[in-house]
Structure 1
Amino acid sequence: MDLKKLSYHLKTNNHEVISYRYHRIVKVLNEYYWGIQSDSKNCRYVGSYGRGTAIKGFSDVDIIVKLPIHEYQRFTNYSQNGQSALLQDVKRALDSTYSRTLKKGDGQVVVVEFSDGIKFEIVPSFVIDGKITYPDSNKNGAWKQCDPVKEIEAINLVNKATDGWIKDICRLTRAWKEANQVEISGILIDNLAIDFMINNREKIFFTLEIYFGFYLLHLVNQRDIKYWILYGSGDVIARNKFQFEDKALVAASELLKLIQATNYTDKKHASEKLFGNIVNEVMI
Protein backbone atom coordinates (compact mmCIF):
# COMPACT_ATOMS: atom_id res chain seq x y z
CA MET A 1 0.00 0.00 0.00
CA ASP A 2 1.55 3.27 -1.14
CA LEU A 3 0.53 5.94 1.40
CA LYS A 4 1.60 8.75 -0.92
CA LYS A 5 -0.80 7.42 -3.52
CA LEU A 6 -3.53 7.07 -0.90
CA SER A 7 -3.00 10.64 0.31
CA TYR A 8 -3.38 11.91 -3.24
CA HIS A 9 -6.54 9.85 -3.66
CA LEU A 10 -7.95 11.33 -0.44
CA LYS A 11 -7.82 14.90 -1.75
CA THR A 12 -11.17 16.65 -2.11
CA ASN A 13 -12.63 16.35 -5.60
CA ASN A 14 -15.66 18.64 -5.57
CA HIS A 15 -13.95 22.03 -5.89
CA GLU A 16 -16.21 23.25 -8.71
CA VAL A 17 -19.42 22.73 -6.74
CA ILE A 18 -17.95 24.27 -3.59
CA SER A 19 -16.51 27.23 -5.49
CA TYR A 20 -19.81 27.96 -7.24
CA ARG A 21 -21.74 27.96 -3.96
CA TYR A 22 -19.03 29.92 -2.16
CA HIS A 23 -19.01 32.76 -4.70
CA ARG A 24 -22.80 32.85 -4.77
CA ILE A 25 -22.99 33.18 -0.98
CA VAL A 26 -20.27 35.84 -0.96
CA LYS A 27 -22.06 37.87 -3.65
CA VAL A 28 -25.32 37.85 -1.69
CA LEU A 29 -23.64 38.99 1.53
CA ASN A 30 -21.58 41.67 -0.20
CA GLU A 31 -24.72 43.09 -1.80
CA TYR A 32 -26.65 43.00 1.48
CA TYR A 33 -24.00 44.41 3.83
CA TRP A 34 -21.58 46.34 1.64
CA GLY A 35 -23.78 47.36 -1.29
CA ILE A 36 -21.22 46.07 -3.81
CA GLN A 37 -21.32 43.58 -6.67
CA SER A 38 -18.50 41.23 -5.73
CA ASP A 39 -18.38 37.47 -5.30
CA SER A 40 -14.90 37.44 -3.80
CA LYS A 41 -14.26 40.40 -1.49
CA ASN A 42 -14.61 40.31 2.32
CA CYS A 43 -14.65 36.52 2.57
CA ARG A 44 -12.34 33.51 2.60
CA TYR A 45 -12.27 29.80 3.25
CA VAL A 46 -11.12 28.70 6.70
CA GLY A 47 -11.33 25.39 8.57
CA SER A 48 -9.89 22.18 7.10
CA TYR A 49 -10.87 23.16 3.55
CA GLY A 50 -9.09 26.48 3.94
CA ARG A 51 -6.04 24.75 5.40
CA GLY A 52 -5.99 22.24 2.53
CA THR A 53 -6.27 19.22 4.82
CA ALA A 54 -9.87 18.14 4.19
CA ILE A 55 -10.46 14.79 2.50
CA LYS A 56 -13.05 13.64 -0.02
CA GLY A 57 -16.42 12.98 1.54
CA PHE A 58 -16.06 15.86 4.00
CA SER A 59 -19.23 17.86 4.55
CA ASP A 60 -18.45 21.15 6.31
CA VAL A 61 -17.09 24.14 4.38
CA ASP A 62 -16.14 26.92 6.79
CA ILE A 63 -16.05 30.49 5.53
CA ILE A 64 -15.48 33.73 7.39
CA VAL A 65 -17.20 36.90 6.20
CA LYS A 66 -16.08 40.41 7.13
CA LEU A 67 -18.94 42.85 7.77
CA PRO A 68 -18.87 46.66 8.08
CA ILE A 69 -17.93 47.93 11.55
CA HIS A 70 -21.21 49.85 11.91
CA GLU A 71 -22.99 46.46 12.00
CA TYR A 72 -20.89 45.50 15.02
CA GLN A 73 -21.93 48.72 16.74
CA ARG A 74 -25.59 48.11 15.82
CA PHE A 75 -25.75 44.62 17.26
CA THR A 76 -23.61 45.49 20.29
CA ASN A 77 -26.27 48.04 21.23
CA TYR A 78 -28.94 45.35 21.47
CA SER A 79 -30.29 45.03 25.00
CA GLN A 80 -30.22 41.23 24.79
CA ASN A 81 -28.03 38.87 22.77
CA GLY A 82 -27.17 41.02 19.79
CA GLN A 83 -24.95 38.14 18.68
CA SER A 84 -27.99 35.92 18.10
CA ALA A 85 -29.70 38.81 16.29
CA LEU A 86 -26.66 39.15 13.99
CA LEU A 87 -26.78 35.47 13.06
CA GLN A 88 -30.48 35.79 12.27
CA ASP A 89 -29.77 38.88 10.17
CA VAL A 90 -27.20 36.98 8.10
CA LYS A 91 -29.71 34.17 7.71
CA ARG A 92 -32.31 36.66 6.42
CA ALA A 93 -29.79 38.06 3.95
CA LEU A 94 -29.51 34.59 2.43
CA ASP A 95 -33.24 33.85 2.45
CA SER A 96 -34.03 35.31 -0.96
CA THR A 97 -31.34 33.24 -2.70
CA TYR A 98 -31.67 30.06 -0.64
CA SER A 99 -35.37 30.06 0.21
CA ARG A 100 -35.64 26.29 -0.31
CA THR A 101 -32.33 25.40 1.31
CA LEU A 102 -32.05 24.52 5.00
CA LYS A 103 -30.59 27.45 6.94
CA LYS A 104 -30.10 27.97 10.65
CA GLY A 105 -28.20 30.15 13.10
CA ASP A 106 -26.19 27.82 15.30
CA GLY A 107 -24.15 29.22 18.19
CA GLN A 108 -21.39 30.99 16.29
CA VAL A 109 -22.27 30.34 12.65
CA VAL A 110 -25.03 30.44 10.08
CA VAL A 111 -25.35 27.02 8.47
CA VAL A 112 -26.52 26.62 4.87
CA GLU A 113 -27.08 22.93 4.19
CA PHE A 114 -27.53 21.62 0.66
CA SER A 115 -29.39 18.51 -0.44
CA ASP A 116 -26.15 16.68 -1.30
CA GLY A 117 -25.04 16.92 2.35
CA ILE A 118 -22.51 19.73 1.94
CA LYS A 119 -22.85 22.39 4.65
CA PHE A 120 -21.47 25.91 4.53
CA GLU A 121 -20.78 27.24 8.02
CA ILE A 122 -20.65 31.01 7.70
CA VAL A 123 -18.94 33.03 10.43
CA PRO A 124 -19.86 36.74 10.32
CA SER A 125 -16.94 38.78 11.62
CA PHE A 126 -15.50 42.23 12.18
CA VAL A 127 -11.91 43.44 12.20
CA ILE A 128 -11.40 45.29 15.50
CA ASP A 129 -7.92 46.48 16.47
CA GLY A 130 -6.51 44.16 13.83
CA LYS A 131 -8.24 41.10 15.30
CA ILE A 132 -11.12 39.04 13.91
CA THR A 133 -14.15 39.36 16.19
CA TYR A 134 -17.13 37.03 15.80
CA PRO A 135 -20.45 36.43 17.61
CA ASP A 136 -21.14 33.68 20.11
CA SER A 137 -24.88 33.50 20.73
CA ASN A 138 -24.65 30.84 23.46
CA LYS A 139 -25.95 31.75 26.90
CA ASN A 140 -26.47 35.52 26.91
CA GLY A 141 -24.24 36.19 23.93
CA ALA A 142 -20.67 37.45 23.71
CA TRP A 143 -18.05 38.61 21.21
CA LYS A 144 -15.02 36.37 20.77
CA GLN A 145 -11.81 36.61 18.79
CA CYS A 146 -9.91 34.21 16.54
CA ASP A 147 -7.32 34.22 13.79
CA PRO A 148 -7.86 31.26 11.44
CA VAL A 149 -5.91 33.02 8.71
CA LYS A 150 -2.74 32.86 10.82
CA GLU A 151 -3.43 29.15 11.37
CA ILE A 152 -3.64 28.65 7.59
CA GLU A 153 -0.40 30.57 7.12
CA ALA A 154 1.32 28.43 9.77
CA ILE A 155 0.46 25.08 8.20
CA ASN A 156 1.22 26.34 4.68
CA LEU A 157 4.64 27.53 5.80
CA VAL A 158 5.52 24.19 7.39
CA ASN A 159 4.03 22.30 4.44
CA LYS A 160 6.28 24.20 2.05
CA ALA A 161 9.31 23.52 4.23
CA THR A 162 8.52 19.78 4.29
CA ASP A 163 7.71 19.36 0.57
CA GLY A 164 4.05 18.66 1.29
CA TRP A 165 4.57 15.88 3.83
CA ILE A 166 2.54 17.58 6.54
CA LYS A 167 -0.71 17.75 4.55
CA ASP A 168 -0.21 14.14 3.50
CA ILE A 169 -0.07 13.20 7.18
CA CYS A 170 -3.16 15.29 7.96
CA ARG A 171 -5.18 13.59 5.21
CA LEU A 172 -4.07 10.10 6.25
CA THR A 173 -4.93 10.87 9.87
CA ARG A 174 -8.41 12.02 8.89
CA ALA A 175 -9.00 8.78 6.99
CA TRP A 176 -7.79 6.82 10.03
CA LYS A 177 -10.01 8.91 12.31
CA GLU A 178 -13.14 8.22 10.23
CA ALA A 179 -12.42 4.53 9.81
CA ASN A 180 -11.76 3.97 13.52
CA GLN A 181 -14.07 6.54 15.15
CA VAL A 182 -11.17 8.35 16.80
CA GLU A 183 -12.05 11.19 19.17
CA ILE A 184 -9.87 14.00 17.83
CA SER A 185 -10.79 17.19 15.98
CA GLY A 186 -9.49 18.25 12.58
CA ILE A 187 -7.78 21.36 13.89
CA LEU A 188 -6.01 19.30 16.56
CA ILE A 189 -4.85 16.79 13.93
CA ASP A 190 -3.34 19.63 11.91
CA ASN A 191 -1.84 21.38 14.92
CA LEU A 192 -0.17 18.22 16.21
CA ALA A 193 1.17 17.57 12.72
CA ILE A 194 2.80 21.01 12.74
CA ASP A 195 4.15 20.31 16.22
CA PHE A 196 5.55 16.96 15.11
CA MET A 197 7.24 18.43 12.05
CA ILE A 198 8.80 21.33 13.94
CA ASN A 199 10.13 19.09 16.70
CA ASN A 200 11.59 16.62 14.19
CA ARG A 201 12.86 19.08 11.59
CA GLU A 202 16.45 17.85 11.90
CA LYS A 203 15.50 14.20 11.36
CA ILE A 204 15.26 12.63 7.92
CA PHE A 205 12.40 10.25 7.18
CA PHE A 206 12.72 8.72 3.73
CA THR A 207 9.14 7.56 3.19
CA LEU A 208 5.66 8.78 4.07
CA GLU A 209 5.05 5.46 5.84
CA ILE A 210 7.85 6.24 8.30
CA TYR A 211 6.70 9.85 8.70
CA PHE A 212 3.17 8.68 9.48
CA GLY A 213 4.36 6.02 11.90
CA PHE A 214 6.35 8.49 13.97
CA TYR A 215 3.43 10.93 13.85
CA LEU A 216 1.15 8.25 15.33
CA LEU A 217 3.67 7.79 18.14
CA HIS A 218 3.61 11.57 18.60
CA LEU A 219 -0.15 11.24 19.16
CA VAL A 220 0.47 8.49 21.71
CA ASN A 221 2.76 10.83 23.64
CA GLN A 222 -0.04 13.38 24.20
CA ARG A 223 -1.55 11.42 27.13
CA ASP A 224 -0.71 13.94 29.84
CA ILE A 225 -1.50 17.07 27.84
CA LYS A 226 -4.54 19.00 29.09
CA TYR A 227 -4.61 21.65 26.38
CA TRP A 228 -2.80 22.64 23.19
CA ILE A 229 -1.77 26.05 21.81
CA LEU A 230 -2.59 26.55 18.15
CA TYR A 231 0.29 27.51 15.89
CA GLY A 232 -0.35 30.83 14.21
CA SER A 233 -3.25 32.15 16.26
CA GLY A 234 -2.15 31.18 19.79
CA ASP A 235 -5.69 30.03 20.57
CA VAL A 236 -6.18 27.18 23.05
CA ILE A 237 -7.76 23.76 22.43
CA ALA A 238 -8.88 22.08 25.64
CA ARG A 239 -8.74 18.28 25.82
CA ASN A 240 -12.43 17.91 26.70
CA LYS A 241 -13.48 14.48 25.37
CA PHE A 242 -10.51 13.92 23.09
CA GLN A 243 -9.16 10.41 23.67
CA PHE A 244 -7.03 9.18 20.81
CA GLU A 245 -3.77 7.89 22.30
CA ASP A 246 -4.74 4.20 22.68
CA LYS A 247 -6.08 3.98 19.14
CA ALA A 248 -2.97 5.74 17.83
CA LEU A 249 -0.83 3.05 19.47
CA VAL A 250 -2.92 0.31 17.82
CA ALA A 251 -2.62 2.15 14.50
CA ALA A 252 1.17 2.30 14.81
CA SER A 253 1.19 -1.48 15.26
CA GLU A 254 -1.05 -1.97 12.21
CA LEU A 255 1.16 0.34 10.17
CA LEU A 256 4.19 -1.78 11.07
CA LYS A 257 2.31 -4.86 9.86
CA LEU A 258 1.52 -3.01 6.62
CA ILE A 259 5.16 -2.07 6.08
CA GLN A 260 6.33 -5.63 6.79
CA ALA A 261 3.62 -7.36 4.72
CA THR A 262 4.94 -9.23 1.70
CA ASN A 263 1.71 -10.28 -0.01
CA TYR A 264 -1.39 -8.49 -1.28
CA THR A 265 -3.80 -10.06 1.21
CA ASP A 266 -1.82 -8.99 4.28
CA LYS A 267 -1.28 -5.48 2.88
CA LYS A 268 -4.99 -5.13 2.15
CA HIS A 269 -6.00 -6.37 5.59
CA ALA A 270 -3.66 -3.98 7.43
CA SER A 271 -4.59 -1.08 5.15
CA GLU A 272 -8.31 -1.58 5.76
CA LYS A 273 -7.77 -1.68 9.52
CA LEU A 274 -5.95 1.62 9.31
CA PHE A 275 -7.99 3.56 6.76
CA GLY A 276 -11.20 1.67 6.03
CA ASN A 277 -12.65 0.61 2.70
CA ILE A 278 -11.36 3.63 0.82
CA VAL A 279 -8.04 1.78 0.38
CA ASN A 280 -9.78 -0.62 -2.00
CA GLU A 281 -10.18 2.22 -4.50
CA VAL A 282 -6.40 2.64 -4.52
CA MET A 283 -5.34 -1.01 -4.39
CA ILE A 284 -7.33 -2.11 -7.44
Structure 2
Amino acid sequence: MEQEFSKFCENIKLTSQQKEDAKAKYKGVCKKLHDTYYDKDYDDSTKYLFGSYKTKTNVRPLTEEQDVDVLFKIPQETFDKFDEYESNGQSALLQEVRNVLKEKYTTTDKINGWGKVVLVQFEKGKHNVEVLPALEQKDGTFLIPNSEDGGSWDTFDPRNQVNEFQTSNGTTNKLTAELGRMLKTWVKNTPSLKKKYKSYQLINDIITFLKIEFEDGASYEDYHEVVKNFFDWLKRNCVESIKSYVETAYNRAIKAIEFMDANKPKEASEEWIKIFGNEFPKVKENPKNKTENRTIITPSSPWCKLN
Protein backbone atom coordinates (compact mmCIF):
# COMPACT_ATOMS: atom_id res chain seq x y z
CA MET A 1 0.00 0.00 0.00
CA GLU A 2 3.03 2.30 -0.17
CA GLN A 3 2.00 3.84 -3.50
CA GLU A 4 -1.65 4.12 -2.46
CA PHE A 5 -0.83 5.94 0.79
CA SER A 6 1.54 8.27 -1.07
CA LYS A 7 -1.17 9.08 -3.62
CA PHE A 8 -3.78 9.48 -0.87
CA CYS A 9 -1.62 12.03 0.94
CA GLU A 10 -1.24 14.01 -2.28
CA ASN A 11 -4.97 13.83 -2.98
CA ILE A 12 -5.90 15.53 0.29
CA LYS A 13 -3.29 18.31 0.30
CA LEU A 14 -4.47 21.77 -0.67
CA THR A 15 -3.60 22.86 -4.19
CA SER A 16 -1.43 25.92 -4.78
CA GLN A 17 -4.52 27.77 -5.98
CA GLN A 18 -6.41 26.92 -2.78
CA LYS A 19 -3.48 28.10 -0.65
CA GLU A 20 -3.35 31.39 -2.53
CA ASP A 21 -7.11 31.81 -2.16
CA ALA A 22 -6.88 31.30 1.60
CA LYS A 23 -4.03 33.81 1.83
CA ALA A 24 -5.93 36.41 -0.17
CA LYS A 25 -9.06 35.93 1.93
CA TYR A 26 -7.48 36.32 5.37
CA LYS A 27 -5.23 39.17 4.24
CA GLY A 28 -8.24 41.04 2.88
CA VAL A 29 -10.12 40.61 6.16
CA CYS A 30 -7.18 41.62 8.34
CA LYS A 31 -6.20 44.60 6.20
CA LYS A 32 -9.73 45.99 6.34
CA LEU A 33 -9.74 45.74 10.13
CA HIS A 34 -6.21 47.17 10.39
CA ASP A 35 -7.10 50.18 8.24
CA THR A 36 -10.11 50.82 10.47
CA TYR A 37 -8.40 50.52 13.84
CA TYR A 38 -4.85 51.76 13.10
CA ASP A 39 -3.35 54.86 11.47
CA LYS A 40 -0.26 53.09 10.12
CA ASP A 41 0.19 51.02 6.96
CA TYR A 42 -0.73 47.34 7.13
CA ASP A 43 2.32 45.06 7.46
CA ASP A 44 0.86 41.77 8.81
CA SER A 45 1.96 42.59 12.37
CA THR A 46 -1.59 43.05 13.66
CA LYS A 47 -2.70 39.52 12.81
CA TYR A 48 -1.74 36.07 14.07
CA LEU A 49 -2.57 32.88 12.18
CA PHE A 50 -3.32 29.70 14.08
CA GLY A 51 -5.30 26.50 13.58
CA SER A 52 -5.18 24.19 10.58
CA TYR A 53 -3.99 26.80 8.07
CA LYS A 54 -1.03 27.68 10.27
CA THR A 55 -0.16 24.00 10.82
CA LYS A 56 -0.84 23.10 7.16
CA THR A 57 -3.29 20.37 8.14
CA ASN A 58 -6.21 21.63 6.03
CA VAL A 59 -7.53 19.00 3.66
CA ARG A 60 -9.41 18.97 0.41
CA PRO A 61 -12.01 18.86 -0.92
CA LEU A 62 -12.96 22.01 0.96
CA THR A 63 -16.27 22.11 2.83
CA GLU A 64 -18.27 25.01 4.26
CA GLU A 65 -17.08 23.98 7.72
CA GLN A 66 -13.42 24.70 6.92
CA ASP A 67 -12.00 28.14 7.54
CA VAL A 68 -8.82 30.08 8.16
CA ASP A 69 -8.43 30.91 11.85
CA VAL A 70 -6.83 34.28 12.50
CA LEU A 71 -6.50 36.66 15.43
CA PHE A 72 -6.77 40.38 14.78
CA LYS A 73 -4.87 42.36 17.42
CA ILE A 74 -7.04 45.24 18.58
CA PRO A 75 -5.48 48.40 20.08
CA GLN A 76 -5.56 48.87 23.86
CA GLU A 77 -7.98 51.79 23.53
CA THR A 78 -10.44 49.62 21.59
CA PHE A 79 -10.30 46.99 24.32
CA ASP A 80 -10.78 49.63 27.02
CA LYS A 81 -13.77 51.07 25.19
CA PHE A 82 -15.67 47.78 25.15
CA ASP A 83 -14.41 46.67 28.55
CA GLU A 84 -16.16 49.70 30.07
CA TYR A 85 -19.57 48.60 28.82
CA GLU A 86 -21.98 47.86 31.66
CA SER A 87 -23.34 44.83 29.83
CA ASN A 88 -21.69 42.53 27.28
CA GLY A 89 -19.18 44.81 25.65
CA GLN A 90 -17.78 41.62 24.16
CA SER A 91 -20.88 41.15 22.01
CA ALA A 92 -20.72 44.81 20.99
CA LEU A 93 -17.09 44.37 19.89
CA LEU A 94 -17.98 41.38 17.73
CA GLN A 95 -20.85 43.27 16.13
CA GLU A 96 -18.64 46.27 15.42
CA VAL A 97 -16.06 44.04 13.73
CA ARG A 98 -18.87 42.40 11.77
CA ASN A 99 -20.16 45.78 10.57
CA VAL A 100 -16.68 46.94 9.55
CA LEU A 101 -16.22 43.82 7.41
CA LYS A 102 -19.64 44.23 5.83
CA GLU A 103 -18.41 47.54 4.40
CA LYS A 104 -15.85 45.61 2.32
CA TYR A 105 -17.64 42.33 1.68
CA THR A 106 -21.00 43.62 0.49
CA THR A 107 -21.73 40.60 -1.70
CA THR A 108 -20.41 37.95 0.67
CA ASP A 109 -23.07 35.40 1.63
CA LYS A 110 -22.79 35.74 5.40
CA ILE A 111 -20.86 37.65 8.05
CA ASN A 112 -21.87 36.56 11.51
CA GLY A 113 -20.58 37.47 14.95
CA TRP A 114 -21.36 35.24 17.90
CA GLY A 115 -19.66 33.50 20.79
CA LYS A 116 -16.02 34.48 20.39
CA VAL A 117 -15.60 35.00 16.66
CA VAL A 118 -16.74 36.75 13.52
CA LEU A 119 -17.17 34.33 10.63
CA VAL A 120 -16.85 35.59 7.06
CA GLN A 121 -18.35 33.02 4.70
CA PHE A 122 -17.42 33.09 1.04
CA GLU A 123 -18.79 31.15 -1.92
CA LYS A 124 -18.76 27.36 -1.99
CA GLY A 125 -15.35 25.82 -2.57
CA LYS A 126 -13.49 28.81 -1.11
CA HIS A 127 -11.96 29.32 2.32
CA ASN A 128 -14.04 31.05 4.95
CA VAL A 129 -12.29 33.26 7.49
CA GLU A 130 -12.92 33.04 11.23
CA VAL A 131 -11.49 36.13 12.91
CA LEU A 132 -11.05 36.63 16.64
CA PRO A 133 -10.55 40.24 17.78
CA ALA A 134 -8.01 40.00 20.60
CA LEU A 135 -5.83 42.06 22.91
CA GLU A 136 -2.23 40.84 23.00
CA GLN A 137 -0.76 40.49 26.49
CA LYS A 138 2.85 41.00 27.57
CA ASP A 139 3.28 37.24 28.11
CA GLY A 140 2.25 36.50 24.51
CA THR A 141 -1.25 35.28 25.34
CA PHE A 142 -4.42 37.04 24.20
CA LEU A 143 -7.65 38.24 25.74
CA ILE A 144 -10.55 37.37 23.46
CA PRO A 145 -14.24 38.30 23.79
CA ASN A 146 -16.76 35.71 24.92
CA SER A 147 -20.26 37.06 24.40
CA GLU A 148 -21.99 34.14 26.10
CA ASP A 149 -23.51 34.30 29.60
CA GLY A 150 -23.46 38.08 29.78
CA GLY A 151 -19.97 38.52 28.38
CA SER A 152 -16.40 37.98 29.60
CA TRP A 153 -12.78 38.10 28.46
CA ASP A 154 -11.10 34.71 28.03
CA THR A 155 -7.37 34.03 27.98
CA PHE A 156 -6.27 32.29 24.80
CA ASP A 157 -2.79 30.93 24.05
CA PRO A 158 -2.59 29.87 20.38
CA ARG A 159 1.18 30.33 20.30
CA ASN A 160 1.66 27.45 22.73
CA GLN A 161 -0.54 25.21 20.57
CA VAL A 162 1.35 26.16 17.41
CA ASN A 163 4.76 25.68 19.08
CA GLU A 164 3.81 22.21 20.35
CA PHE A 165 2.69 21.21 16.89
CA GLN A 166 5.79 22.57 15.14
CA THR A 167 8.10 20.85 17.64
CA SER A 168 6.36 17.52 17.07
CA ASN A 169 6.28 17.97 13.31
CA GLY A 170 10.00 18.71 13.24
CA THR A 171 10.87 15.74 15.44
CA THR A 172 8.76 13.32 13.40
CA ASN A 173 9.99 14.56 10.02
CA LYS A 174 6.55 16.04 9.17
CA LEU A 175 4.60 12.91 10.14
CA THR A 176 2.52 14.97 12.59
CA ALA A 177 1.07 17.07 9.77
CA GLU A 178 0.70 14.10 7.41
CA LEU A 179 -1.13 12.01 10.00
CA GLY A 180 -3.21 15.06 10.90
CA ARG A 181 -4.41 15.42 7.32
CA MET A 182 -5.17 11.71 6.98
CA LEU A 183 -7.15 11.56 10.20
CA LYS A 184 -9.04 14.77 9.48
CA THR A 185 -10.14 13.02 6.28
CA TRP A 186 -11.32 10.07 8.40
CA VAL A 187 -13.37 12.44 10.57
CA LYS A 188 -14.84 14.13 7.47
CA ASN A 189 -15.75 10.69 6.12
CA THR A 190 -17.57 9.89 9.38
CA PRO A 191 -20.34 12.55 9.45
CA SER A 192 -21.73 11.78 12.92
CA LEU A 193 -18.21 12.06 14.39
CA LYS A 194 -17.53 15.63 13.17
CA LYS A 195 -19.18 17.47 16.05
CA LYS A 196 -17.90 15.04 18.67
CA TYR A 197 -14.21 15.11 17.78
CA LYS A 198 -12.82 18.59 17.17
CA SER A 199 -9.72 19.26 15.10
CA TYR A 200 -7.70 20.73 17.97
CA GLN A 201 -8.36 17.62 20.10
CA LEU A 202 -7.40 15.35 17.21
CA ILE A 203 -4.11 17.20 16.73
CA ASN A 204 -3.38 17.07 20.47
CA ASP A 205 -4.01 13.31 20.42
CA ILE A 206 -1.68 12.87 17.44
CA ILE A 207 1.09 14.80 19.19
CA THR A 208 0.68 12.65 22.32
CA PHE A 209 0.64 9.41 20.31
CA LEU A 210 3.77 10.33 18.35
CA LYS A 211 5.67 10.83 21.59
CA ILE A 212 5.07 7.12 22.24
CA GLU A 213 5.36 5.57 18.77
CA PHE A 214 7.03 6.63 15.52
CA GLU A 215 8.86 9.44 17.32
CA ASP A 216 11.32 9.76 14.42
CA GLY A 217 8.68 9.61 11.69
CA ALA A 218 7.77 6.90 9.20
CA SER A 219 7.89 6.17 5.48
CA TYR A 220 4.86 5.56 3.27
CA GLU A 221 5.41 1.81 3.42
CA ASP A 222 4.73 2.00 7.17
CA TYR A 223 1.71 4.32 7.08
CA HIS A 224 -0.75 1.44 7.42
CA GLU A 225 0.90 0.56 10.73
CA VAL A 226 0.95 4.19 11.85
CA VAL A 227 -2.79 4.56 11.24
CA LYS A 228 -3.67 1.19 12.78
CA ASN A 229 -1.55 1.84 15.87
CA PHE A 230 -3.05 5.30 16.32
CA PHE A 231 -6.57 3.87 16.33
CA ASP A 232 -5.43 1.18 18.77
CA TRP A 233 -3.99 3.83 21.09
CA LEU A 234 -6.97 6.15 20.70
CA LYS A 235 -9.62 3.54 21.52
CA ARG A 236 -7.88 3.04 24.86
CA ASN A 237 -7.58 6.76 25.60
CA CYS A 238 -10.57 8.51 24.04
CA VAL A 239 -13.81 9.69 25.59
CA GLU A 240 -16.72 7.28 25.52
CA SER A 241 -18.73 9.33 23.00
CA ILE A 242 -16.30 8.59 20.15
CA LYS A 243 -15.08 5.14 21.18
CA SER A 244 -17.37 3.14 18.88
CA TYR A 245 -16.21 5.17 15.85
CA VAL A 246 -12.57 4.57 16.72
CA GLU A 247 -13.12 0.84 17.26
CA THR A 248 -14.84 0.56 13.88
CA ALA A 249 -11.92 2.31 12.17
CA TYR A 250 -9.41 0.12 14.04
CA ASN A 251 -11.18 -3.09 13.03
CA ARG A 252 -11.25 -1.98 9.40
CA ALA A 253 -7.53 -1.16 9.54
CA ILE A 254 -6.83 -4.64 10.95
CA LYS A 255 -8.89 -6.20 8.15
CA ALA A 256 -7.10 -4.11 5.52
CA ILE A 257 -3.70 -5.22 6.79
CA GLU A 258 -4.82 -8.87 6.77
CA PHE A 259 -5.76 -8.46 3.11
CA MET A 260 -2.40 -6.81 2.45
CA ASP A 261 -0.59 -9.76 4.05
CA ALA A 262 -2.65 -12.14 1.89
CA ASN A 263 -1.54 -10.26 -1.25
CA LYS A 264 -5.04 -8.93 -1.85
CA PRO A 265 -4.47 -5.19 -2.35
CA LYS A 266 -7.87 -4.75 -4.04
CA GLU A 267 -9.76 -5.85 -0.92
CA ALA A 268 -7.28 -3.97 1.29
CA SER A 269 -7.88 -0.71 -0.57
CA GLU A 270 -11.64 -1.20 -0.17
CA GLU A 271 -11.21 -1.33 3.62
CA TRP A 272 -9.03 1.79 3.63
CA ILE A 273 -11.68 3.55 1.52
CA LYS A 274 -14.26 2.69 4.18
CA ILE A 275 -12.06 4.58 6.65
CA PHE A 276 -10.88 7.52 4.54
CA GLY A 277 -13.42 7.82 1.73
CA ASN A 278 -12.85 7.98 -2.01
CA GLU A 279 -9.73 10.14 -1.76
CA PHE A 280 -7.90 6.89 -0.98
CA PRO A 281 -6.97 5.18 -4.29
CA LYS A 282 -8.85 2.01 -5.19
CA VAL A 283 -6.78 -0.92 -6.46
CA LYS A 284 -8.63 -2.34 -9.46
CA GLU A 285 -7.39 -5.91 -9.33
CA ASN A 286 -5.16 -8.23 -7.39
CA PRO A 287 -1.88 -9.46 -8.86
CA LYS A 288 -2.26 -12.75 -10.71
CA ASN A 289 -0.79 -15.79 -9.01
CA LYS A 290 2.23 -17.13 -10.81
CA THR A 291 1.70 -20.67 -12.08
CA GLU A 292 4.48 -23.18 -12.13
CA ASN A 293 5.99 -23.90 -15.50
CA ARG A 294 5.00 -27.35 -16.67
CA THR A 295 6.62 -29.35 -19.46
CA ILE A 296 3.97 -30.99 -21.64
CA ILE A 297 5.13 -34.25 -23.21
CA THR A 298 3.25 -35.42 -26.29
CA PRO A 299 2.39 -39.07 -25.74
CA SER A 300 3.47 -41.55 -28.38
CA SER A 301 0.87 -43.05 -30.63
CA PRO A 302 -0.68 -46.24 -29.23
CA TRP A 303 -0.12 -47.87 -32.55
CA CYS A 304 2.53 -47.93 -35.15
CA LYS A 305 2.11 -47.60 -38.85
CA LEU A 306 2.16 -50.98 -40.63
CA ASN A 307 4.42 -51.38 -43.61
Q: Which residue of structure 1 lines up, in the alignment, with residue 297 of structure 2?
A: none
Give 1:283 shift: 5.6
Q: Distance in 1 between matches of 2:201 and 2:121?
A: 25
Residue 80, structure 1, aligned to residue 78, structure 2: no
Residue 161, structure 1, aligned to residue 171, structure 2: yes
Contact map agreement 1:26 1:41 (CA 8 A) in 2 = no
Contact map agreement 2:47 2:70 (CA 8 A) in 1 = yes
Flag the structure with larger Rg: 2
Contact map agreement 1:23 1:39 (CA 8 A) in 2 = no
Q: Distance in 1 between matches of 2:43 and 2:21?
A: 15
Q: Distance in 2 between matches of 1:17 and 1:283?
A: 33
Residue 110, structure 1, aligned to residue 157, structure 2: no
Q: Distance in 1 between matches of 2:43 and 2:112?
A: 22
Give 1:201 shift: 6.0
The count of residues paired between Structure 1 and Structure 2 equals 266
Q: Distance in 1 between matches of 2:283 and 2:154?
A: 46
Matched residue type, 1:144: D
Q: Which residue of structure 1 lines up, in the alignment, with residue 59 of structure 2?
A: 55
Q: Distance in 1 between matches of 2:204 and 2:273?
A: 26
Q: Distance in 2 between matches of 1:283 and 1:81?
A: 57
Contact map agreement 1:184 1:243 (CA 8 A) in 2 = no
Q: Which residue of structure 2 lines up, in the alignment, with residue 38 of structure 1?
A: 42
Moved over 4 A (4+): 201-206
Structure 1 gap ranges (5+): 226-241
Q: Distance in 2 between matches of 1:203 and 1:157?
A: 12
Tell me the alpha carbon deviations over residues 105-156 of structure 1, each in whole angstroms, 9 at most, x when there is no partner: 1210011111225321100000134221100011200000111121111111
SS of the equivalent of 2:149 reads: coil
Residue number among 4, 7, 32 corresponding to 1:5 in the alignment: 7
Matched residue type, 2:32: V
Contact map agreement 1:30 1:39 (CA 8 A) in 2 = no
Tell me the alpha carbon deviations over residues 45-95 of structure 1, each in whole angstroms, 9 at most, x when there is no partner: 212222222211242211111111111111000111100110011112212
Q: Which residue of structure 2 lines up, in the alignment, with residue 191 of structure 1?
A: 204
Against the structure 1 CA distance between its residues 106 and 184, is the aligned structure 2 distance closer, same or farther, given a 3 Å change threshold? same
Moved more, 260-269 or 134-143: 260-269
Give 1:264 shift: 4.3
TM-score by length of 1: 0.86
Q: Which residue of structure 2 lines up, in the alignment, with residue 98 of structure 1?
A: 105
- Root-mean-square deviation (CA), in Å? 2.1
Structure 2 gap ranges (5+): 285-307
Residue 126, structure 1, aligned to residue 135, structure 2: yes
Q: Which residue of structure 2 lines up, in the alignment, with residue 70 of structure 1?
A: 77
Matched residue type, 1:210: E
Residue 209, structure 1, aligned to residue 224, structure 2: yes
SS of the equivalent of 1:80 reads: coil
Give 1:268 shift: 3.0
